Amino acid sequence: MKRIICTLSVLASLYATAQDKPATPREPGHGDNNKFSQMYDLLATPNMFRTASGAPGPAYYQQQADYKIDVELDDKNTKLYGTETITYTNNSPDPLEYLWVQLDQNQHAADSPSKLVESQKMNEAYSPAGFSREYLQQQFDGGFKLEYVKDAAGKPMKYTVNQTMMRIDLPTPLKHGEKVSFSIKWWYNINNYQVIGGRSGYEHFDKDGNNLYVIAQFYPRMAVYNDVEGWQNMQFWGAGEFALPFGNFEVNITTPADHILDGTGELQNRAEVLTAAQAKRWDLATKTFDKPVVVVTQDEATASEKGFSTKKKTWKFKATNVRDFAFSSSRKFIYDAMAVQLGGKTVMAISLYPKEANPLWGDKSTRIVAHTLKTYSKYTFDYPYPKAISVSAEDQGMEYPMICWNYGRPDEKGVVSDRIKWGMAGVIIHEVGHNFFPMIVNSDERQWTWMDEGLNSFVEFLTEQEYDPAFPTRRGPAANIVPYMSGDQKFLEPIMSNSETIHQFGNNAYGKPATGLNILREVIMGHDLFDHAFKTYAQRWMFKHPTPEDFFRTMEDASAVDLDWFWRGWFYTTDYVDIGIMDVKQYYVTDDKPKDSKEANIRKGRFGQEQGPFVYMVTDGKDKAFDTKDIKLLKDFVNEKLSAEDKANLKQPKYFYELTFDKPGGMLMPIIVQLTYEDGTSETQTFPVQIWRKNNQTAMRVFATDKKVVKFQLDPKLQTADIDITNNMWPREAVKTKFDTGSKK
């Protein structure tokens, strides 16, 4: 066989020589590198747990973790003591030899390695307090102090603590459908989050000596076990938040008797913990839909601030089908509430805040909570929980089921700047919105921050604009992401990156996903198709654990819009949008055949035959306009072929422009072209992204107009996140290259 091949090669060479031509080497072959390629190489294979449509499959399962918790808040020593009983149900098909429990408070342990994983350099200057904290003081003694882990019979269980995770070894594997109960006793020192940092803890008020507590991650919590990766037991380093199973909670919280408290779930003993007057005001609030009712007044809160009661009281809560529990407590709290009608049921919007937050919080907070619940429900599903609480906690912004902490207060003179006013409103909308993503649509935050932060930031954008069209939204408008997209590639990662590896967390996990969804809605899919698909995703996966593939597939499945090119570019790469006008040629019409006319360029019939006589399109770079009525061949054709009615409906183009578009950026996007005419009028034409499908780098379009075009402009409303608008104009002119990205929170 080799001899034959060699012989054929020689013959080919001789033939080329005989033709007096060198043999032209062929280009090497290649795979499918078109940016419109389907994403079979990136998405997980559909199965019985998760279908190709993006919906839960017939074998989909999720675990359940039920809790009975008793805690006591030691306000004098800023400690929290607790015992809990967890009942864990194994709904998976797998026998489980051990359980993983999250110990997130251990991030604050004195020996926590989370303090050692960031690069560090010497500052040029420190405040005295900052220098003392960094180099002189002992490390804060945080983290869970575990006293025991016992089984249902009270016998000690074997367990191993690995940083923020605890493995509990089971004496026999837990089979499908079986339950196991065990108890844990623990305590920890509560962190001052303004000094130590953290997503929960307490804020201290020097003037009156009081603390305001926002308590979360306060109990050992079950990790998620699912069909995607088994146990989600990735360590908590601080950035990637939480993955949790759903369950039912019974929680009893003992506090000083002069504290006001609220938390996840429904309060079971209101008459025991509120005064008769306060309970009466609460009843009024449940029937008031137009404004907040003050349940605990500022005068009552101010009086409580001075008491420091040594007595105690216990607040009792029950919560059904939630993934977590959190609460907030202080003797400083003013408490107001109003009713919200959602889908035939009444939900309570609530705010807790100290007098330092007034009048801003009393005027705004609960109304913003109510607006958020209504707007998010419109785009997803009716809010299913009985209440949503906004807590004033300075320097915070964090979310839990039915409760969240939010920053934003007047200064000491009572002045509220625009930055604080809009910033507080945006944070409340964002954190209350997290009830939907991920508290109900329960994605894995430890792995994919964008699935809750990005989706939530997008609906936050819609909610802010409905709250006030002048809202200075940061995340969502396409132009606002341009500085990030055009930045140094060394500090950019694809959205589909783990939470702990991201350089610019806010831009990557919040801003870019929110912007991408806004572009899908405004430019690519349209409101109707997008809104239906987005709502379908939310309703398919409420109270379940979706993955990125489930989102991508549902958005396509419910809309009949192929978006693989978009997910591939926007989510899996750091490609950016940069579409430009590469060339513009103006043509005129003649029935005289140009001398240099190339017959190959003349349109042929279906079977290759010429269909003359021809109307020729030529360009000489001059500014010419022609009335098509004066062209003999066209005039004859019109008179012979068309009726009088058809002739009356004919367009009368006089100008013909051929535009060549190029794409220096790697990200595909529809081409939006605005034509501005000599008389000052304009029109916009949009070409679907598929215009790039056969050539990912260049595209051409012809514009036939009856008026002279004086300017072509791409993306005139800055809807596509194009990072370089200097190549968006013809004729070239000075254009702004800096984008107005709105106010900064």
Q: For the residues of 294-350, what is the DSSP string, one character each?
A: EEE-HHHHHHHHTT----EEEEEEEEEEES---EEEETT-EEEEEEEEETTEEEEEE
* End-to-end Cα spacing for the chain: 74
For residue 16, the model assigns a pLDDT of 44
**Would you put residue 504 in left (φ > 0), alpha (ψ -120 to 50) or beta?**
beta
CA 542 vs. chain centroid, Å, equals: 16
Residues forming a β-bridge with 73 = 80
Separation between Cα atoms, residue 91 and residue 88, nearest integer Å: 10
Whether residue 728 is predicted with pLDDT greater than 70 in this model: the reply is: yes
Residue 263's identity, in one-letter code, is G
% of residues, the chain, pLDDT over 70 = 92
For residue 469, the model assigns a pLDDT of 95
For residue 601, the model assigns a pLDDT of 55
Of residues 113 and 373, more confidence is placed in: 373
Whether residue 23 is predicted with pLDDT greater than 80 in this model: the reply is: no
For residue 10, the model assigns a pLDDT of 40
> Please, which pLDDT band fits residue 18 given cuts at 50, 70 and 90?
very low
* Helix (H/G/I), strand (E/B), else coil: 460: helix
* Helix (H/G/I), strand (E/B), else coil: 564: helix
Separation between Cα atoms, residue 461 and residue 438, nearest integer Å: 17
> Please, which pLDDT band fits residue 89 given cuts at 50, 70 and 90?
very high
Whether residue 117 is predicted with pLDDT greater than 90 in this model: the reply is: no
User: Is 550 in contact with 561 (CB distance < 8 Å)?
Assistant: no
Separation between Cα atoms, residue 257 and residue 706, nearest integer Å: 81
User: Is 739 in contact with 718 (CB distance < 8 Å)?
Assistant: yes
pLDDT per residue as tens digits for the range 291-313: 999 999 999 999 999 989 999 99
User: Is 146 in contact with 111 (CB distance < 8 Å)?
Assistant: no
% of residues, the chain, pLDDT over 90 = 76
Cβ neighbors of 682 (< 8 A, separation 6 or more) are 674, 675, 676
For residue 609, the model assigns a pLDDT of 59
Separation between Cα atoms, residue 231 and residue 213, nearest integer Å: 32
> Please, which pLDDT band fits residue 9 given cuts at 50, 70 and 90?
very low
271-297 per-residue burial string, b: 16 or more CB within 10 A, e: under 16: eebbeeebeebbeebeeeeeebbbbbe
Cβ neighbors of 27 (< 8 A, separation 6 or more) are none
Whether residue 114 is predicted with pLDDT greater than 80 in this model: the reply is: no
Question: Six-digit token pair at 77?
Answer: 């020593």
**H helix or E strand, kind and range, residue 587:** strand 580-590
Whether residue 11 is predicted with pLDDT greater than 70 in this model: the reply is: no
For residue 440, the model assigns a pLDDT of 98
299-336 per-residue burial string, b: 16 or more CB within 10 A, e: under 16: ebbeebbeeeeeeebbbbbebeebbbbbbbbbbbbbbb
Look at the chain and count its residues. 745
Question: Considering only 58-67, 597-606, 642-651, 687-696, which range has the smallest mean pLDDT?
Answer: 597-606
Whether residue 115 is predicted with pLDDT greater than 90 in this model: the reply is: no
Separation between Cα atoms, residue 253 and residue 81, nearest integer Å: 10
DSSP strand pairing (96-102 vs 159-162): unpaired
Nearest to 88 by CA among 270, 211, 204, 220: 220
For residue 687, the model assigns a pLDDT of 97
> Please, which pLDDT band fits residue 8 given cuts at 50, 70 and 90?
very low
Q: Which domains does the chain have, with CATH numbers?
A: 2-41 (no CATH), 64-116+127-447 (2.60.40.1730), 577-745 (no CATH)
User: Is 434 in contact with 242 (CB distance < 8 Å)?
Assistant: no
What number is the average pLDDT over the span 342-358? 96
> Please, which pLDDT band fits residue 20 given cuts at 50, 70 and 90?
low
**H helix or E strand, kind and range, residue 467:** helix 450-467
Separation between Cα atoms, residue 462 and residue 514, nearest integer Å: 10
For residue 1, the model assigns a pLDDT of 41
Q: What is the largest CA-CA distance in the chain?
A: 110
Question: Six-digit token pair at 346?
Answer: 């009444």
User: Is 192 in contact with 203 (CB distance < 8 Å)?
Assistant: yes
> Please, which pLDDT band fits residue 597 given cuts at 50, 70 and 90?
low
Whether residue 615 is predicted with pLDDT greater than 90 in this model: the reply is: no
Nearest to 442 by CA among 149, 51, 164, 63: 63
- Average per-residue pLDDT in the chain? 91
> Please, which pLDDT band fits residue 4 given cuts at 50, 70 and 90?
very low
For residue 595, the model assigns a pLDDT of 73
Q: What is the DSSP letter of 263?
A: E
For residue 21, the model assigns a pLDDT of 54
SS3 readout for 601-665: HCCECCCCCECCCCCEEECCCCCCCCCHHHCHHHHHHHHHHCCHHHHHCCCCCCEEEEEEEECCC
> Please, which pLDDT band fits residue 15 given cuts at 50, 70 and 90?
very low
Question: Considering only 14-18, 42-46, 61-65, which range has the smallest mean pLDDT?
Answer: 14-18
3-state helix, strand, coil in the chain (%, to 5): 30, 30, 45
> Please, which pLDDT band fits residue 129 given cuts at 50, 70 and 90?
confident
Of residues 540 and 604, more confidence is placed in: 540
For residue 608, the model assigns a pLDDT of 59
User: Is 353 in contact with 333 (CB distance < 8 Å)?
Assistant: yes
Torsion angle of the four alpha carbons 360, 366, 369, 374, in this order, in degrees rounded to the nearest 10: -130
Residues forming a β-bridge with 637 = none
Nearest to 707 by CA among 613, 625, 637: 625
CA 170 vs. chain centroid, Å, equals: 38
User: Is 368 in contact with 425 (CB distance < 8 Å)?
Assistant: yes
Residue 660: CB atoms within 10 A of its CB come to 14
Residue 465's identity, in one-letter code, is Q
Question: Considering only 7-11, 181-185, 522-526, which range has the smallest mean pLDDT?
Answer: 7-11
Whether residue 676 is predicted with pLDDT greater than 80 in this model: the reply is: yes
Give the pTM.
0.91
Residues forming a β-bridge with 87 = 66, 181
For residue 55, the model assigns a pLDDT of 98
Whether residue 474 is predicted with pLDDT greater than 70 in this model: the reply is: yes
Separation between Cα atoms, residue 284 and residue 27, nearest integer Å: 80
Whether residue 672 is predicted with pLDDT greater than 50 in this model: the reply is: yes
* Helix (H/G/I), strand (E/B), else coil: 91: coil
The residue whose two tokens read 């990637």 is 240
User: Is 110 in contact with 141 (CB distance < 8 Å)?
Assistant: yes
User: Is 55 in contact with 554 (CB distance < 8 Å)?
Assistant: yes
Q: What is the DSSP letter of 115?
A: G
Whether residue 636 is predicted with pLDDT greater than 90 in this model: the reply is: no
Residues forming a β-bridge with 671 = 687
For residue 232, the model assigns a pLDDT of 95
